[in-house]
Amino acid sequence: MTSPPVQLQAITPSLPTRRDKAVAPFRIMTWISKTITLLGAVLLGHACYSAQEHSALQSFKAATTTLTSTSAVASLPIDIAIETVVATLVILLGLVLGTRPLRPIQWNVWAGKIEREGEEGFLDSEGEMNRDFVGNPFSFLETRPGFVDIRKQRKEFAGWIKNSGPQ
Amino acid sequence: MAQVPVQTIHRDPQLFYWILFPITAVMILTGVLRHYATVLMASAAKKLDQKTMREQRSLLHGINVRGNSHALSKRSFTARRDALITAYESGAYLKDPERRGQAPPNPMSDPSSMEGMMGMMKNQMAMIIPNTLIMSWINAFFSGYVIMKLPFPLTIKFKSMLQAGVATKDMDPRWMSSISWYFLCIFGLQPVFNFLLGSDNAASQMAQQMGGMAPNAGQMFGPGVDPDKQFLAEAENLAVIEHYSVLDGVEQRLLEGIKV
Amino acid sequence: MAPSLLHPPSQLSPAAALQLSQQAPAVLQNSPSTVSKSPFSALFSASETPELWIKYENLLLSCLRTGDELAAKQCLERLVARFGDGNERIMAFKGLVKEADAQHNGELETVLKEYEQILRDNDTNIPITKRRIALLRSMGRVPDAVSALVQLLDFSPTDAEAWSELADLYLSQGMYPQAIYAMEEVLILAPNAWSVHARLGEILLMAATAPGAAGASYQKYMAEALKRFSRSIELCDDYLRGYYGLKLVTTKLLKESAKLAKQAEEDGLVLPDTNTIERLNELATAKLSEIIRHSTAQDRGWRGYDQGEVAVARELLSEDSSAASRIER
């Protein structure tokens, strides 16, 4: 009989550093995304300021020298336009990087997530539990709240209090 | 390009207090009143007696067996199918088996179905009567008034909508007549009611939620439908179903699908 | 993490139930006792949400369980004030409180009589019907409970919860074929419920190992149990319970592979060949050890498993590996 060797050493509890390592990537991701978004916002602000300055300058020019042609005056310099587009893209990139991973849409993946992660997998960005998270939606078929035997539950609870009790 | 000179119409500022404000207030108050009228008039959801419930749910059961037959093994499905077909064809689930084969009762003479229709009628009436009354009130007192100017420009097409009752050709569509304000109120006050009465009339919804799963299969078991015919049709559906089971070859799918 | 009051508390551990019911004074103080229906007060106070009433219900259940009758009665009063005496669900809760209060069998009989009186007036009151069945079962009158439940299911065959209770009742009596039938009815109503598939697998396994089963029926039960566990895993990745069951079934089958007879292929439920069973066994072993490893290490994204279940799975694996090493030696 050939049973595969079970890695018993893997079953033993490992050091807590593993956990921190697992959490770290997410923290770094949000940090990066925030920096990128901020950078984009600064760029966009700069572009707006440049455009404003440019138009102010142009209107001042138009007021002083009435003779110059108006067609050249109207258009914005290409570098400001490019800066605006780039800034928008950078902000988009930052926001996209900062989103939480998408929720699963396949039944087995979704169900597996419920079983594997429990409530933790369904926290929103503020750490609050999602309101419509119910755990396994079919658990009522096994707990059967409509048929609850309250007397047995009370007895069990009393027994638990007597034996172990809250620490 | 020359600008079109802005039309100015000198209106009596009293128009605001005596037309615009009353119409709005009346509309809101009728809305609130109507809500409470429907709550009062709403007859409690009619209780089904046990036999009707049995008839309806047995049919649903058959539909479920048909739709989810893949969850069963072939043997259990066949056993269920045979039992259900026999029961359906013998009319075992019918409310009153001795009435089988007779024409369905006229829905107008059946008191239980009349009640449902009366309920619908009541709701309709609660909508129609106040609206007609207010409309005629506005027509009688305020027709032809220009009461306000919208703060944004509009195209000429809006003239017929906004200046109903004002037959002036050249007037800017931004000017609004009282009857148009009434229509705007009808369509636009829903958020106000949501705010005042709770969104989606919270009271009625909550009662339904506490009532558990309300059997809201109204259209399937409406009046005038012969349940016997429904059962026979369902028996036929069950008989022709081509059964497959998710259990067939599931271990192969598992071994192929899951990589460790 | 504190258990949420928005979820039904029946599956919580005693400690969690205690924690919930200790919240009772705070919840009762902070939540409005009644919600006024007048539109003017609605302008100034928070509007009514369904969550509030769900909270009260769950608090009521937890408090009853921990013996905090006072808070439970308060919850009940508020629910009655909102929904009235005639609401079927509220009637069931009132009965529940009375059941919990009952000291001896005489009082329980009174409650039972009350239920029967209610049902005489309105025989489609499903919450009360369920309470009556639960009370009958709690009083040890299982045959009565079964017949009442069968009667309920006769006029309401689309009630998955009731079918599941029936399966449990039959199982407690050792009537496996009936329990399996009832569980299959649950699956008809909820074909994608992975826990129900696993539960049916467990019942099938119990039926197979029961003393009465032998020969062909044993193989049939084992084959279906194997398939049910496989299906539950197919519906839910990394399902500890499904893999545990799969491991149990395949190990058992491999041990007896010699004496298993070839079945006639008539109803599609034949045992897969030994090679497939072996591969399934390996898969289950690998997955179980992976789950145990991650869960023990408390890795991110693997903390949802019940620690008790993980411990049992670990026991199974170590038993299995020691048996294997004995054979190799």
Q: Is residue C8 a part of any domain in this protein?
A: no
Task: Judge residue B28's burial from the number of C-beta atoms within 10 Å of its C-beta, 0-12 exposed, 13-18 middle, 19 or more buried.
Answer: middle
Any domain includes C242: yes
Maximum Cα interatomic distance, chain C, rounded to a whole number of Å:
83
> Do B256 and C236 form a contact (C-beta atoms < 8 A)?
no
Interatomic CA distance for residues C36 and A57, integer angstroms: 62
d(CA B209, CA B214): 8
Give the pLDDT confidence score for residue C182 in this predicted structure: 94
Degrees (nearest 5) of the Cα angle C211, C212, C218? 95
Asked whether B255 and C250 are in contact (CB, 8 A), the reply is no
Q: Which of C265, C251, C198, C186 is nearest to C227 (CA)?
A: C198
Structure confidence by residue, pLDDT tens digits, B117-165: 777 787 788 778 888 898 898 888 887 788 888 888 778 888 877 777 7
Beta bridge partners of B149: B175
What are the Cα distances from residue A36, in Å, to A29, A40, A47? 11, 6, 16
Is C42 a domain residue?
no
Same domain flag for C22 and C73: yes
Question: Which of A81-85, B53-57, B148-152, C58-62 has the least mean pLDDT?
Answer: B148-152
pLDDT digits (tens, 9 = 90+) for A28-55: 778 889 999 999 999 999 999 999 999 8
In the block, residue with structure tokens 């009083």: C139
Instruction: Give the number of C-alpha atoms closer than 13 A to the C-alpha of residue C132, restricted to the C-beta side.
Output: 26
Quick one: pLDDT at residue C165? 93
For residue C136, the domain's CATH number is: 1.25.40.10
Interface of C with A in 264-303 (CB under 8 A): 278, 281-282, 285-286, 289, 292-293, 296-303
pLDDT category of residue A17 using cuts at 50, 70 and 90: very low
| Whole-angstrom distance, CA of residue C311 vs CA of residue A107 | 27
- Whether residue C312 is found in the same domain as residue C226: yes
CB A88 within 8 A of CB A42: no
C-alpha–C-alpha distance, residues B132 and C190, integer Å? 49
Question: What gap in Å lies between CA B258 and CA B252, rounded to an integer?
Answer: 10
- When divided into structural domains, chain C yields a total of 3
Query: Which residue of chain A has the CA closest to C88?
Result: A146
Please check whether residue B147 is in contact with residue B181, taking contact to mean a CB–CB distance below 8 angstroms: yes
Q: In C, residues 195-224, which contact A (CB 8 Å cutoff)?
A: 195-196, 199
HEC assignment per residue over A95-117 = HHHHCCCCCCCCHHHHHHHHHHH
Q: Using one digit for the tens of pLDDT, what is the confidence trace for C22-37?
A: 777 777 777 666 655 5
* Same domain, residue pair C167 and C279: no
Query: Are residues C225 and C184 part of one domain?
Result: no
Same structural domain, C174 and C63: no
Give the whole-angstrom CA distance, residue A84 versus residue A66: 30
Give A127's contacts (C-beta < 8 A, 6+ positions apart).
Answer: none
Which residues have a Cβ under 8 Å from the Cβ of C141 and sit 6 or more positions away?
none
Under 8 Å between Cβ of C58 and C20: yes
**Nearest CA of chain A to the CA of C101: how many Å?**
9
The domain of C88 spans 15-26+50-101
Chain C positions touching A10 (Cβ under 8 A) are 289, 293
pLDDT of B24 higher than 60: yes
- pLDDT at position A23 is 47
B-chain CB neighbours of C283 within 8 Å are 254-255, 258, 260
A94-141 pLDDT, tens digit per residue, is: 999 888 778 888 888 888 888 888 776 666 555 555 656 667 788 888
Q: Is residue C40 part of a domain?
A: no
Structure tokens at C114: 């009350």
Q: Assess contact for A30 and A98: CB atoms under 8 A.
A: yes
Q: What does the block give as tokens for B75? A: 């043997």
How many B-C residue pairs are in contact by the CB < 8 A criterion? 127
Evaluate whether residue C262 is within a structural domain.
no
ipTM of the complex: 0.80
Instruction: Report if residue C6 sits inside a domain.
Output: no
C216 plus C279 within the same structural domain: yes
Would C36 be classed as within a structural domain?
A: no
- pLDDT one-digit tens code per residue, C239-281: 999 999 999 999 988 888 766 666 555 555 677 888 888 899 9
Beta carbons of C16 and C61 less than 8 angstroms apart: no
Same domain, C173 and C281: no
| Number of CB atoms found within 10 A of residue A79's CB | 10
- The 3-state DSSP class for residue C48 equals coil
Is residue C93 domain-shared with residue C161, that is, in the same domain? no
Looking at the structure, tell me whether residues C328 and C291 fall in a common domain.
Answer: yes
Residue C3 lies inside a defined structural domain of this protein: no
Mean pLDDT of C191-202: 93
